[in-house]
């Protein structure tokens, strides 16, 4: 039972990352009709905003990170210590510590990632706006294949730009010390201490994504802006005939989607050390999430994100797979046994096939979307 | 009216004779050129450095490339000579190889077997390289080694740690200086026993490709031999990114050691996520849970940051060793690039010098002559102590390092500390060992491309 609870929590956590990225993808597709393959790159750029803020706030815990862009640290040669060639060692001290004292300076660098969430919002809105105005809008009336090609190309360019700046190695971007390590979830559920533990930061990530998802839905549901956008998603022409410049609203939605992907990336940085290909790793599963949820359906994207996260999590649990192989009396070298053991690597695609065979428009897809 | 007595038969006859006459020197030239593949001219010789310059292992590939360029400089008499000054053989005098200036071309493997093969093929066919060196993956090494065998070129492998490279997939034209999974297992087991006792229960997470399989097998066999039990072995996709769904089942499995048979970015992520999940905070039946990473590299250690502190693993070489060869190479490399070399860089540098020396001793670039010079060659002064290139499988035998993530690093390169230098005798094995293809594994015939 402990294993099952642990995997459910893991599935919710994994699903929250899928849901956040898929939500942004769906926002863009639902409003602008663009299949944006550069969305994963926005997630990756968000993660690098966390790296940037760690540098700016002088996080000298990043032992080994040689890619110190904008690192606000004072470097002083200390003759009492030597480097690998026996030369005086260059010792780094954060300027924030020098300016504001040790306790506040260290607090800033410790909380660099949460601070980066706030900083990333205007940066990502600007990047989203620039991307939409500079490139994407020229492809609104082009076939989806053209949109996929151009956005995929853009994703490669953005990835390579980051690689040129930060190198190809993943860069550790730690969470605040207070949130590092596990939380004993089991005691809240009546289990003995240390029976069910889970990473504190991942729990924070789950609640953070819930907050963002709820915020996006509330924004679309309860504001005039959101009402216009929803009307535009349903019938763009009629909204235009009412004298509303729907394109302006949709550009802002692109910025909002970029910000959602960006903050998701910032918060993900302590979980998976950011590297330039982070976006590509999440792009494919998130497209599966969007398709399973139903193209253009925000609720579907969130539902499918959590569903596939939980499926993926349970598919990785070896206990039931070993029991099944044993129950079927299969040998280790048997093809079926190997398929069962390795099902975690194809699980979300299998579920996608089953759902699309039974519900071709996905879980909550609407008629007429991408069916022309 | 012309008096022209040209006949069809006459034209054919004289054409055949003229054609044969013209062809004779060409046949002779061709025959001379095909003495072996890409025989160099008198002025220079070209070698190919095939490393990942893009993709997940790019940092490692770029470090290899730095070392390879340094090796070429030293061979051509530039710089301070590096390990040429400490190498036990004194045949290389800074005048290139056999009096020919060394030139090089580079290729990008992208850590993909098909791309690496295409890149090596282009180097061989278009650039005329006489030897290919480098790489950061066993899948790539096995693929490029097979290509070099077919083409009649020597392959001096870079960072490849799978048993298969000099095991079931060994080739007469391929040579590996780097150590392998078996050696890691043999070196690590006694240190693990000392550190954690002989009653542990291990859970393996293993990268789903040939390097992962052989590493898991090696560590599992050697730890079980000293009394450990293997609770579970789980394959994980390469490049999974988020390994948490594989890590959470470890917590309630009853295991008290997690072995991460992962490399590169996968290791950085899985280790970080394991620590966040509380693996090292967990106590199982009164025993503190531990993590083991069988294969370390400096670049991985840098990527994993403080998460590696106190975690044991193995390495082929480390710049902190105190022998003269290591000091010479670290100084050359550090002064040129401002950073200490990785063990991938070291192996590529050494391989380039070993090739040049073998050519000099053989007196020819003919791959079969070079291979003969390398087989059972014994040398020293290259940072690993007395070393032998075993003739039976083209694997180097030397001491292996057991290292640990440093608890209190003083600077960004001070990430690992050497726990033990495992003597070579402890990691040796028979060429027909079952983990290396058994009695069926063979080098085959050397191919010079003639």
Q: Determine, for residues A66 and B252 on separate chains, whether the beta-carbon distance falls below 8 Å.
A: no
In this prediction, residue B9 carries a pLDDT of 57
Please, which residues 160-219 of chain B have a Cβ atom closer than 8 Å to chain A?
208
Identify from A61, A179, A318 which residue to disrupt to test chain B contact, counting B C-beta atoms within 10 A and taking the largest count: A318
Distance from CA of B362 to the nearest CA of A (A): 37
- Reported as type and span, the H/E element at residue B377 is strand B377-379
- DSSP at B83: G
User: CB neighbours of A280 closer than 8 A, spacing ≥ 6?
Assistant: A40, A155, A159
The two tokens of residue B197 are: 């006792």
Assign a CATH topology to domain B182-315.
Answer: Rossmann fold (3.40.50)
Chain B residues with beta carbon closer than 8 angstroms to that of A171 = 303
Is residue A71 pLDDT above 80, yes or no? no
| Cα–Cα distance, B303 to A169 (Å, whole number) | 7
Identify from B411, B415, B416 which residue to disrupt to test chain A contact, counting A C-beta atoms within 10 A and taking the largest count: B411
pLDDT tens per residue across span A184-212: 888 888 888 778 888 999 999 999 999 99
In this prediction, residue A330 carries a pLDDT of 83
| Cα–Cα distance, B350 to B355 (Å, whole number) | 9
- Closest CB from B252, B273, B299 relative to A169: B299
Q: Determine, for residues B303 and A64 on separate chains, whether the beta-carbon distance falls below 8 Å.
A: yes
Confirm whether A275 is domain-assigned.
yes
| Cα–Cα distance, B251 to B231 (Å, whole number) | 12
The two tokens of residue B161 are: 């740690």
The two tokens of residue A319 are: 């206990």
- Closest CB from B208, B301, B330 relative to A64: B301
Judged by a CB distance cut-off of 8 A, whether residue B56 touches chain A is yes
Q: Determine, for residues B235 and A341 on separate chains, whether the beta-carbon distance falls below 8 Å.
A: yes
Judged by a CB distance cut-off of 8 A, whether residue A206 touches chain B is no
| Cα–Cα distance, B376 to A318 (Å, whole number) | 45
Beta-sheet strands, E only, within B54-160: 101-108, 131-134, 154-157
C-alpha closest to that of B38 among B116, B109, B132, B177: B132
- Closest CB from A277, A312, A318 relative to B232: A318
The answer to whether the B44-179+319-393 and B182-315 domains have the same CATH topology is yes
Give the chain B residue whose CA is nearest to the CA of A60. Answer: B412
pLDDT tens per residue across span B292-333: 999 998 888 887 878 888 999 999 999 999 999 999 999 999
Distance from CA of A256 to the nearest CA of B (A): 26
| Cα–Cα distance, B201 to B122 (Å, whole number) | 49
Q: Concatenated DSSP letters for A142-181?
A: S-HHHHHHHHHHHHHHHHHHHHHHH-SS----PPPGGG-S
Task: Determine the angle formed by the axes of helices B324-337 and B343-362, rounding to 10 degrees.
Answer: 110
In this prediction, residue B28 carries a pLDDT of 37
Q: Determine, for residues A197 and B307 on separate chains, whether the beta-carbon distance falls below 8 Å.
A: no
Q: How many CB atoms lie within 10 A of CB B362?
A: 18
Look-up of token digits 């005329």: B128
Distance from CA of A118 to the nearest CA of B (A): 24
Give the chain A residue whose CA is nearest to the CA of B246. Answer: A316
Mean pLDDT check: name the lowest of A61-70, A81-90, A209-218, B341-350.
A61-70
- DSSP at B100: B
Please, which residues 96-135 of chain A have a Cβ atom closer than 8 Å to chain B?
none
Q: Determine, for residues B305 and A345 on separate chains, whether the beta-carbon distance falls below 8 Å.
A: no
Q: Determine, for residues A7 and B273 on separate chains, whether the beta-carbon distance falls below 8 Å.
A: no
- The tens-digit pLDDT sequence of chain B (450 residues) is 344 454 555 555 555 555 544 444 443 344 445 689 999 988 999 999 999 987 667 788 989 999 999 999 999 999 999 999 999 999 999 999 999 999 999 999 988 899 999 999 999 999 999 999 998 889 899 999 999 999 999 999 999 999 999 999 999 999 999 999 999 999 999 999 999 999 999 999 999 888 999 999 999 999 999 999 999 999 998 878 889 989 999 988 899 999 999 988 888 889 989 998 889 888 888 899 999 999 998 888 887 878 888 999 999 999 999 999 999 999 999 999 989 999 999 999 999 999 999 999 999 999 999 999 999 999 999 999 999 999 999 999 999 999 999 988 777 788 899 999 999 999 999 999 999 999 999 999 999 987
Judged by a CB distance cut-off of 8 A, whether residue B242 touches chain A is yes
Is residue A120 pLDDT above 60, yes or no? yes
- Closest CB from A170, A171, A316 relative to B245: A316
| Cα–Cα distance, A359 to A348 (Å, whole number) | 16
In this prediction, residue A234 carries a pLDDT of 79
Please, which residues 94-113 of chain B have a Cβ atom closer than 8 Å to chain A?
none
In this prediction, residue A75 carries a pLDDT of 82
pLDDT mean over A252-269: 93
Its ipTM equals 0.85
Half-sphere exposure of B337 (CA within 13 A, CB side): 20
The structural architecture, per CATH, of the domain B44-179+319-393 is 3-Layer(aba) Sandwich (3.40)
Chain A residues with beta carbon closer than 8 angstroms to that of B265 = 169-170, 273, 275
Confirm whether A179 is domain-assigned.
yes
Q: Determine, for residues A84 and B251 on separate chains, whether the beta-carbon distance falls below 8 Å.
A: no
Give the chain B residue whose CA is nearest to the CA of A180. Answer: B276
Please, which residues 35-64 of chain A have a Cβ atom closer than 8 Å to chain B?
61-64
Beta-sheet strands, E only, within chain A: 73-82, 88-94, 182-184, 197-199
In this prediction, residue B30 carries a pLDDT of 41
Confirm whether A63 is domain-assigned.
no
Distance from CA of A137 to the nearest CA of B (A): 31
Confirm whether A223 is domain-assigned.
yes
Q: Determine, for residues B55 and A168 on separate chains, whether the beta-carbon distance falls below 8 Å.
A: yes
Q: How many CB atoms lie within 10 A of CB B120?
A: 27
The two tokens of residue A289 are: 């999430």
Chain B residues with beta carbon closer than 8 angstroms to that of A7 = 245, 248-249
The parent domain of residue A212 ranges over 2-57+119-358
- Closest CB from B273, B283, B301 relative to A271: B273
Confirm whether A134 is domain-assigned.
yes
Confirm whether A75 is domain-assigned.
no
- Three-state DSSP string of A50-108: HHHHHHHCCCCCCCCCCCCCCCCEEEEEEEEEECCCCCEEEEEEEHHHHHHCHHHHHHH
Look-up of token digits 């976006």: A279
Alpha helices in B252-384 (DSSP H): 264-276, 298-304, 324-337, 343-362, 367-374
- Three-state DSSP string of B223-282: HHHCCCEEEEEEEECCCCCCCHHHHHHHHCCCCCEEEEECCHHHHHHHHHHHHHCCHHHC
- Closest CB from B245, B305, B307 relative to A313: B245
Tell me the backbone φ, ψ of residue A244, rounded to 5 degrees: -95, 130
Give the chain A residue whose CA is nearest to the CA of B235. Answer: A342
- Closest CB from A63, A273, A319 relative to B269: A273
* Residue boundaries of the structural domains of chain B: 44-179+319-393, 182-315
Give the chain A residue whose CA is nearest to the CA of B322. Answer: A84
- DSSP at B423: -
- Closest CB from A63, A181, A198 relative to B305: A63
Tell me the backbone φ, ψ of residue A100, rounded to 5 degrees: -115, 5
- Closest CB from B57, B62, B340 relative to A84: B340
CA distances from A325 to A98, B208, B245, B399 (A): 62, 19, 20, 42
- Closest CB from B245, B265, B281 relative to A181: B281
Please, which residues 308-327 of chain A have a Cβ atom closer than 8 Å to chain B?
312-313, 315-319
In this prediction, residue A344 carries a pLDDT of 86
Q: How many CB atoms lie within 10 A of CB B408?
A: 7
- Closest CB from A10, A163, A282 relative to B244: A10
Identify from B217, B276, B281, B307 which residue to disrupt to test chain A contact, counting A C-beta atoms within 10 A and taking the largest count: B276
Judged by a CB distance cut-off of 8 A, whether residue A247 touches chain B is no
Identify from B241, B272, B279, B337 which residue to disrupt to test chain A contact, counting A C-beta atoms within 10 A and taking the largest count: B241
* Local confidence band at A141 (pLDDT 50, 70, 90 cut-offs): confident
Chain A residues with beta carbon closer than 8 angstroms to that of B337 = none
Q: Determine, for residues B248 and A6 on separate chains, whether the beta-carbon distance falls below 8 Å.
A: yes
Q: How many CB atoms lie within 10 A of CB A227?
A: 12
Half-sphere exposure of B269 (CA within 13 A, CB side): 28
Question: Residue-wise over A313-342: b if at least 16 C-beta within 10 A, else e?
Answer: bbbbbbeebeeebeeeebeeeeeebeebbe
In this prediction, residue B221 carries a pLDDT of 95
| Cα–Cα distance, B273 to A175 (Å, whole number) | 12
Distance from CA of B218 to the nearest CA of A (A): 19
Number of domains composing chain A? 1
Half-sphere exposure of A132 (CA within 13 A, CB side): 26
């Amino acid at each position: 039972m402990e294993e099952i609870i642990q995997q459910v929590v893991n599935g919710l956590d994994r699903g929250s990352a899928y849901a956040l990225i898929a939500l942004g993808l769906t926002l863009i597709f639902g409003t602008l009709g663009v299949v944006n393959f550069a969305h994963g790159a926005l997630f990756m750029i968000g993660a690098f905003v966390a790296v940037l803020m760690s540098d700016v706030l002088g996080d000298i815990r990043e032992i080994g990170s040689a890619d110190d862009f904008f690192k606000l640290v004072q470097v002083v040669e200390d003759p009492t210590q030597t480097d690998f060639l026996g030369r005086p060692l260059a010792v780094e001290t954060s300027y924030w510590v020098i300016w504001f004292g040790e306790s506040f300076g260290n607090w800033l660098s410790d909380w660099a990632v949460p601070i980066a969430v706030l900083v990333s919002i205007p940066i990502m809105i600007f990047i989203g706006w620039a991307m939409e105005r500079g490139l994407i809008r020229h492809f609104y009336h082009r076939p989806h294949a053209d949109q996929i090609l151009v956005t995929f190309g853009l994703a490669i360019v953005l990835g390579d730009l980051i690689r040129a700046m930060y190198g190809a190695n993943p860069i550790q971007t730690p969470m605040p010390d207070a949130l590092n390590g596990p939380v004993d979830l089991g005691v809240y559920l009546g289990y003995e201490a240390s029976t069910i533990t889970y990473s504190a930061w991942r729990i924070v990530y789950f609640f953070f994504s819930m907050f963002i998802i709820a915020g996006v839905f509330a924004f679309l549901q309860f504001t005039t802006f959101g009402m216009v956008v929803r009307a535009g998603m349903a019938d763009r022409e009629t909204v235009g005939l009412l004298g509303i410049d729907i394109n302006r609203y949709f550009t802002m939605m692109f910025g909002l989607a970029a910000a959602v992907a960006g903050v998701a990336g910032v918060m993900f940085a302590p979980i998976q050390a950011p590297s330039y290909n982070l976006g590509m790793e999440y792009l494919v599963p998130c497209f599966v999430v969007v398709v399973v949820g139903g193209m253009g359906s925000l609720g579907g994207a969130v539902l499918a994100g959590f569903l596939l996260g939980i499926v993926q999590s349970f598919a990785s649990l070896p206990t039931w797979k070993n029991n099944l192989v044993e129950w079927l009396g299969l040998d280790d070298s048997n093809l079926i046994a190997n398929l069962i053991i390795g099902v975690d690597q194809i699980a979300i695609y299998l579920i996608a096939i089953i759902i699309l065979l039974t519900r071709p428009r996905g879980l909550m897809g609407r008629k007429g979307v991408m069916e022309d | 009216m012309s008096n022209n007595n040209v006949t069809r038969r006459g034209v054919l006859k004289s054409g055949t004779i003229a054609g044969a006459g013209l062809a004779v020197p060409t046949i002779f030239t061709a025959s001379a050129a095909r003495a072996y593949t890409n025989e160099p001219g008198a002025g220079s010789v070209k070698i190919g450095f095939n490393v990942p310059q893009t993709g997940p292992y790019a940092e490692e590939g770029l470090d290899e490339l730095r070392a390879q360029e340094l090796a070429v400089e030293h061979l051509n008499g530039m710089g301070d000579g590096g390990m040429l000054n400490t190498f036990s053989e004194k045949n290389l005098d800074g005048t290139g190889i056999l009096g020919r200036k060394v030139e090089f071309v580079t290729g990008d493997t992208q850590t993909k077997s098909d791309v690496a093969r295409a890149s090596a093929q282009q180097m061989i066919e278009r650039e005329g390289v006489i030897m290919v060196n480098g790489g950061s993956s066993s899948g790539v090494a096995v693929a490029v080694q097979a290509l070099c065998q077919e083409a009649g070129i020597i392959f001096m492998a870079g960072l490849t740690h799978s048993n298969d490279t000099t095991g079931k997939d060994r080739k007469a034209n391929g040579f590996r200086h780097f150590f392998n999974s078996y050696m890691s297992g043999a070196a690590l087991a006694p240190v693990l026993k000392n550190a954690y006792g002989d009653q542990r229960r291990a859970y393996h997470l293993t990268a789903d490709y040939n390097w992962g399989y052989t590493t898991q097998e090696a560590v599992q066999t050697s730890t079980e031999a000293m009394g450990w039990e293997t609770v579970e072995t789980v394959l994980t996709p390469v490049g999974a990114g988020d390994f948490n769904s594989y890590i959470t089942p470890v917590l309630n499995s009853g295991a008290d050691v997690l072995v991460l048979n992962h490399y590169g970015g996968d290791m950085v992520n899985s280790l970080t996520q394991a620590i966040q999940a509380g693996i090292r905070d967990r106590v199982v039946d009164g025993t503190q849970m531990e993590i083991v990473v069988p294969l370390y590299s400096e670049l991985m250690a840098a990527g994993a940051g403080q998460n590696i502190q106190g975690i044991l693993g193995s390495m082929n070489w480390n710049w902190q060793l105190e022998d003269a060869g290591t000091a010479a190479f670290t100084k050359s490399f550090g002064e040129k690039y401002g950073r200490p070399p990785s063990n991938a860089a070291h192996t590529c540098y050494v391989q380039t010098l070993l090739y040049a020396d073998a050519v000099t001793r053989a007196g020819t670039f003919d791959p079969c002559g070079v291979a003969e010079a390398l087989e059972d060659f014994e040398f020293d002064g290259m940072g690993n102590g007395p070393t032998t290139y075993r003739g039976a499988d083209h694997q180097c035998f030397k001491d292996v390092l057991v290292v640990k993530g440093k608890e209190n690093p003083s600077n960004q390169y001070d990430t690992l500390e050497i726990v033990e230098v495992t003597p070579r005798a402890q990691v040796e094995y028979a060429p027909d060992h079952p983990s290396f293809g058994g009695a069926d594994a063979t080098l085959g015939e050397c191919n010079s491309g003639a």
